[in-house]
Amino acid sequence: MANCNVRKGDNVMVIAGKDKGKVGKVLKVNSATGRIYVEGINMVSKAKKPRNAQEQGGIIKQEGTIDVSNVMHVCPECGAVVRVRHELKQVGGKTKSVRVCAKCGASLDEKKSSAKKAAKKAARKKAEQSKAED
């Protein structure tokens, strides 16, 4: 596969297959084969044999791969299932190719700061200030 528009962490909707219409987050991308793992999609059963007395065996449910052509992006801004368009933008004096929503033009590459990251950053800053005071 030359160009894969889907990256880890993207929200996608399945448009073909047994899980058609379901939405999930991309867990892993294998660009060489053009297949992706999507959270909660294409669940397969796998038998696990216990390797020692402490390990528990049994049947494990896990995500299977799905072809990248069977999914479409869900835009974080307009909430619609959209195609991906590539635009060239100036970032820090360099020209960079950026993925954007074909409907509303919102960037799909911008990193949204999550609440966990913000809390972690605040805790680290508070710890540094308390060390500086001591």
Per-residue pLDDT reduced to its tens digit, 8-62: 999 999 999 999 999 999 999 998 999 999 999 999 999 999 999 999 999 999 9
Residues 13 and 31 grouped into a single domain: yes
Residues 69 and 94 grouped into a single domain: no
Residues 105 and 60 grouped into a single domain: no
**Cα–Cα distance measured from residue 9 to residue 16, given in angstroms and rounded to the nearest whole number:** 20
Quick one: pLDDT at residue 68?
93
Structure confidence at residue 5 as a pLDDT band (50, 70, 90)? confident
CATH number for the domain spanning 1: value is 2.30.30.30
CA trace torsion 116, 9, 19, 82 (10° rounding): 120
Quick one: pLDDT at residue 112?
57
- Lowest average pLDDT, out of 72-76, 77-81, 127-131, goes to 127-131
Residues 44 and 10 grouped into a single domain: yes
Residues 112 and 131 grouped into a single domain: yes
Number of neighbours of residue 38 by Cβ within 10 angstroms: 26
- The end-to-end CA distance of the chain, in Å, is 56
Q: Which amino acid is at 47?
A: A
Residues 47 and 25 grouped into a single domain: yes
Q: Which domain holds residue 63?
A: 1-74
Structure confidence at residue 103 as a pLDDT band (50, 70, 90)? confident
Higher pLDDT, 127 or 15: 15
Residues 70 and 97 grouped into a single domain: no
Residues 68 and 5 grouped into a single domain: yes
Closest CA to 82 of 92, 91, 74: 74
Quick one: pLDDT at residue 117?
61
Scan for tokens 């960079």, then name that residue. Answer: 96
Residues 6+ apart with CB under 8 A from 82: 72, 73, 74, 75, 101, 102, 103, 104
**Cα–Cα distance measured from residue 91 to residue 69, given in angstroms and rounded to the nearest whole number:** 30
pLDDT at 108 over 90: no
Per-residue pLDDT tens over the stretch 83-99: 999 999 887 888 988 89
